């Protein structure tokens, strides 16, 4: 059953924003979250050992969330803001 065309993104810019936010933005949020956990917890080695598994799961979930946004640039704003917030918390702890 083909997709209904009214639900497909017509703009190439929006399509690029959603795909790039899903791939790159989702990874940045997931990686910064895990680095925040490693810095704030006393168990840095444990967090970094499980990093590869849980990061992939969180990254996949964030990829799906990116395509739920109607505007890809809003998704980039959210993902960028969350990443910057995590980086600020990491910097405050160090």
Q: pLDDT (tens digit, 9 = 90+) per residue, 51-83?
A: 889 999 999 999 999 999 989 999 999 999 999
User: Smallest Cα–Cα separation from 69: which of 12, 4, 22?
Assistant: 22
Q: Cα(82)–Cα(18) distance, rounded to whole angstroms?
A: 16
Average pLDDT value for residue range 3-21? 86
* pLDDT score for 66: 95
Q: Cα(3)–Cα(53) distance, rounded to whole angstroms?
A: 33
């Amino acid at each position: 059953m083909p997709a209904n065309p009214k639900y497909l993104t017509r703009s190439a810019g929006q399509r690029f924003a959603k795909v790039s936010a899903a791939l790159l933005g989702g990874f940045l949020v997931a990686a910064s979250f895990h680095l925040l956990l490693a810095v704030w917890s006393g168990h840095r080695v444990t967090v970094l050992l499980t990093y590869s598994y849980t990061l992939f799961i969180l990254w996949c979930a964030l990829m799906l969330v990116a395509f739920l946004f109607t505007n890809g640039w809003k998704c980039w704003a959210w993902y960028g803001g969350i990443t910057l917030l995590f980086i600020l918390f990491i910097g405050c702890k160090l």
